[in-house]
A and B are shown apart, each in its own frame.
Chain A
Amino acid sequence: MDAVIENLPTYLEGFRMTLLLLVVSGVAALILGTIIAAMRISPVASLRGFATVYTELVRNTPLTLVLFFCAIILPYLGSRLDYVTAAMIGLSVYTSPFVAEALRSGINGVPLGQAEAARSVGLGFGQTVSLVVMPQAFRMTIPPLINVFIALTKNTSVAGGFFVFELFAATRELANANGNAVIAILLGAATLYLVVTIPLGVLAAQLERKWVVQR
């Protein structure tokens, strides 16, 4: 316990970087994912095909490979990004297809009859989408999106293996420095991760439980 309190500044430094990675790559993944989702439901066939192939390929690539590419192969190819930016790019790219799928399955989850009914009472495209489809799709989208961000929180730890000093890297350093208090050090780091992931998980489960009946 003493080891944890003594090293609190190191923890917090790492934790700050974890949160920074989470927020920046979360927002970037949200934007990128929305674009991919829009491409996937667009009437333009080639964009649809591109988005499908992108989703399939990125989702089946291990995150370690993505970050390895960003941190080691990209500089080798001549990029001058620093490791934090590279990790952010890697995490956003890796997360974007999951965001796109969450959005797409939300929109696809609205029963066809809803749109048909809206159209048959005379609503136009904009009205159908904004008044009938989107409010329902929104409910179905939020819990899976929260889940994506929980996964992202845990995934930021992989960046610690590629020269970014975040919580995992800080923990590894502390564990190596304090050989006699390894368990306490590791539990301290786990607590910091759980502080983010468990409330989000509870929120997602609650929203899902609330909204599953209304569908």
Chain B
Amino acid sequence: MSHSSVLFDAPGPKARRVSLISSIIAGLAIAAGLAWMVWTLAQPRESGGITLPGFFAPTRWDIFADPEVWQFIIMDGVLGTLRAALVAAVFAVALGILFSLLRSSQTSWIRVPTMVVLEFLRGMPVLLMMLFILLVLNTGSYWAVVAALSLYNGALIGEALRAGLASLPRGQREAGLSLGMRPLQSKMLVEFPQAFRQMLPIIVAQLVVLLKDTSLGYIVGYTELLRTNMNTLGSFYGNRYLFSLFVVTLVLYLIMNLSLSWFARWLSKRTASKSSGTQLDPEDPNQAILVAKASAAARQSGSQAGSL
């Protein structure tokens, strides 16, 4: 919403000029700040009596001309990250479906323990979970990363799907039951597909979080992009290349994450135009789940009041 057009009178020529001038000044200030940063980094520096070249000197970047370095970065680093992320994503979605079904079960001795487990998983840092799996189950770092990410994100996806199930109109389930379906059949064939489609943008947004969190593997000793670049390549080529290696790592991560989050946004726009429901913010899955849950609860209490 563009408040600016409503909150105050339409800007006249003077106000427009002021805003243009301040825009140019702020732009120059930002550009100057960036230029200063680049300039500082580019300066040669003294270190213990020897002068090292600046951070943009070709001698700090020449390893990237070597295709073997790239092969290493791609094969070990990027593939290591993607391998963990993909496997964890599959498990997380599967677990999410399972959790959402258990959590919305009619039997309380299934529902309540699931709720406790979900709260536990959601309230704990993923890193601690990784350490837990690594030390207690002794699985090795790859499976520790994958299992912790699957459990944590599975719990969140499960909550999202449950909110999606709860926000469906009640008639959907009633119609399924009145056709003679058993409760589970109605859930799987009628309600679940709709909930899944409605929550798809949130699920994809959660997968962006999962992809970002694979970098936690660095701390528990899994060889992913950060560890490959900074520890393996960094110690092989020496301290001189540390900065350039970090920049390359950052850019690679940004490319992966930005493309996935643009996909989530595109998906959310597409589903929002299809279903007339409220558009859930794919930027922050946590918040979107909260909103979906609250509005589902509101709708349920509303419909109960209506039916009385």
Contacts of A151 in B (CB 8 A): 286
Asked whether, in the complex, the Cβ of A212 is within 8 Å of the Cβ of B26, the reply is no
Cα A124 to Cα B9 with chains together (Å): 9
Q: Does A182 contact B (CB under 8 A)?
A: yes
Asked whether, in the complex, the Cβ of A193 is within 8 Å of the Cβ of B298, the reply is no
Asked whether, in the complex, the Cβ of B128 is within 8 Å of the Cβ of A190, the reply is yes
Residue of A nearest to B126 (CB): A154
Contacts of A138 in B (CB 8 A): none
Cα A129 to Cα B3 with chains together (Å): 10
Beta-carbon contacts under 8 Å, B1-59 to A: 1, 3-4, 6-8, 11, 19, 22-24, 26-27, 30, 41, 45, 55
Asked whether, in the complex, the Cβ of B4 is within 8 Å of the Cβ of A43, the reply is yes
Asked whether, in the complex, the Cβ of A105 is within 8 Å of the Cβ of B281, the reply is yes
Asked whether, in the complex, the Cβ of B284 is within 8 Å of the Cβ of A190, the reply is no
Please, what's the 1-or-0 string for A31-46, where 1 marks a CB less than 8 Å from any CB in chain B? 0000000000101111
Asked whether, in the complex, the Cβ of A208 is within 8 Å of the Cβ of B291, the reply is yes
Contacts of A101 in B (CB 8 A): 283-284
Known: A68-B246, A144-B290. A154 touches B125 (CB 8 A): yes
Cα A198 to Cα B250 with chains together (Å): 33
Beta-carbon contacts under 8 Å, A143-182 to B: 143-144, 147, 150-151, 154-158, 160-161, 168, 171-172, 175, 182
Cα A168 to Cα B131 with chains together (Å): 9
Asked whether, in the complex, the Cβ of B290 is within 8 Å of the Cβ of A112, the reply is no
Interface size class of A (residues with CB under 8 A): 35 or more
* Among listed A22-30, A70-78, A85-93, interface-contacting one: A70-78
Q: Does B132 contact A (CB under 8 A)?
A: yes
Q: Does B261 contact A (CB under 8 A)?
A: yes
Contacts of A115 in B (CB 8 A): 3, 6-7
25 A-B pairs (CB sep. < 8 Å): A41-B4, A43-B11, A44-B19, A44-B26, A45-B19, A47-B30, A59-B261, A62-B253, A63-B215, A65-B215, A77-B55, A105-B283, A111-B1, A112-B1, A116-B6, A144-B284, A161-B218, A171-B128, A171-B131, A172-B131, A186-B131, A186-B136, A201-B122, A208-B290, A208-B293
